[in-house]
Amino acid sequence: MKKKTLTCLGALALCVITMRGFGQTGTLNISGDSKTTISKHIYGQFAEHLGHGIYGGFWVDKSLPVKKQDRIRLDVVEALKKIKIPNLRWPGGCFADEYHWRDGIGPAAQRPRMVNTNWGGVTEDNSFGTHEFLELCSLLKCEPYVAGNVGSGTVDEMSKWIEYLNSNSTSTVVKERVKNGHPEPYKVSFWGVGNESWGCGGNMTPQFYADQFKRYASFAKDYPGAKLKKIASGPNADDYNWTEVCMKNIPAHMMYGLSLHYYTIPTGSWGKKGSATAFTEGEYFNTMVNCLKMEELVTKHSAIMDKYDPEKHVALVVDEWGVWTDPEPGTNPGFLYQQNSLRDALIAATTLNIFNNHSDRVKMAALAQTINVLQSLILTDKEKMVLTPTYYIFDMYKVHQDAKYLPIKLDAPDYEVDGKKIPAVNASASQDAAGKVHISLVNLDIHKPITITTGFSDIKWTNVSGQILTSANVTNINTFQDPDKIHLSNFTGAKKDGDKLVVTLPAKSVVTLELN
């Protein structure tokens, strides 16, 4: 009998995956002994000036027959408030390093226009700028995460933007904010110092970027009530040297976090990425192999960070993640519009389980992207709106926000396709302030149900309830014509057996349980 071990970072977290041939059973043990909190900011979102993410997504034409505040679409706002998104990253992405914030303030009719050279070559009219973004965050009741321009900007430009946002002085730039309708400072704390500085943000070397970060960060000042959480532009996927250089050369006290970007590409190739809706079981399996690589990336980058920051003061901020497929046929390829299937929901749940299990180092993340771009939570078409399967994962998993992380040990069968194997089940668990325990389980096997028997250490419970997301096929999607094909349902496949919990996970499903 072969065994493979998957290490979940954290002194108390260990997931052991054991092959059981054709067996469809496994065990899960959960400990209540933990001092780690799963930060709510792991459940963050990303909104870039890209395709119809901002324009036609959050920010719509005045004539569109939907409820709006100014031009902010309110049915979108209400949907995102329901899942309690904790932060929203803006204005990019690659767009951030060509964005000059002064172009997006003042009377809309007087704002200059530009060409969005990164995404589709379309005209950007700057009608959605700083004030509009912060009004959106206010409506969403989430924290803004602003990505500053290091690639084509200046230290003074970023410094003045922070002053404009956060200062309560009587300086010229603050008077300008007051003139533009906001007398009180916004007090924005999360601040990205550049984006993908190894690529579209300037094609820098890690040493050059580390020096740039220190220079920009030195002039990014704290103002009363707004201590900055500065996030350095971190590595692309498995560029471990980038992490090494940044952690070695940037003092831990200067940065809140180091970012990591990794996308699940179904084919593993940036050329032909694969379809969002038409794929074989072999292609599905390969996509899950690529999704599970996030475990390796987080583990190895965290180990490097531990060398220089053993007290874990610096967060690993995975502020771009998700599945990236070929765009939908007939759409502008520069708009990155793709459909969202049950497969994508399984990817989201698996990735969030990884983040939860590494919550001692992963303190913040952002799915790419919120609306109409890549692995969206929401798709819109004029007045129509549909919630994607990925949206429902965030709805299920919101119970883990700011809850106590519970270490797990999982022993379950493999999922095998064409002689290759991956763990069929992944999981994470937490305990909220009221003492309720929540367990999220994913069965990646598209054919077999799997029964998991769970034991507990230092945890007492009496009742269990749950929710499930599944569908007949992993290629199933929600459409404007059939918006509820995939939706949450009550789950009745869990029961108490003595002091054990026995749960049968249907094939290709995500289940979140609540134990009282």
The two structure tokens encoding residue 161? 């933007």
Type of residue at 475: T
**Does residue 98 have an active-site annotation?**
no
Q: Tell me if 338 sits within 8 A of 325, measured CB to CB.
A: yes
The answer for residues whose C-beta is within 8 angstroms of residue 208's C-beta and 6 or more apart is none
Set 124, 132, 163, 320: catalytic member: 320
| DSSP secondary structure string for all residues of 340-400 | -BHHHHHHHHHHHHHHHHTTTTEEEEEEE-SBSSSS-SEEEETTEEEE-HHHHHHHHHGGG
| DSSP secondary structure string for all residues of 421-464 | EEESEEEEEEE-TTS-EEEEEEE--SS--EEEEEEEES-----E
| Angle (deg, nearest 10), helices 74-82 and 130-140 | 50
Torsion of CA 75, 79, 82, 87, to 10 degrees: -110
Q: Which residues pair with 191 in a beta bridge?
A: 146, 230
**Does residue 196 have an active-site annotation?**
yes
The 8-class DSSP code of residue 127 comes to -
Q: Tell me if 372 sits within 8 A of 56, measured CB to CB.
A: yes
> Residues, the chain, total?
516
Within 10 Å of residue 186's Cβ, how many Cβ atoms? 20
Q: SS3 helix, strand, coil % of the chain, rounded to 5?
A: 25, 30, 45
Set 196, 283, 328, 416: catalytic member: 196
In this structure, what are the phi and psi dihedrals at residue 408, rounded to the nearest 5 degrees? -130, 155
First-last CA distance in the chain: 37
The two structure tokens encoding residue 176? 């300008």
The residue among 221, 25, 200 whose CA lies nearest residue 117 is 200
Q: Tell me if 66 sits within 8 A of 23, measured CB to CB.
A: no
The residue among 426, 427, 430, 436 whose CA lies nearest residue 402 is 430
305's enclosing H/E stretch is helix 281-308
Active site residues: 196, 320
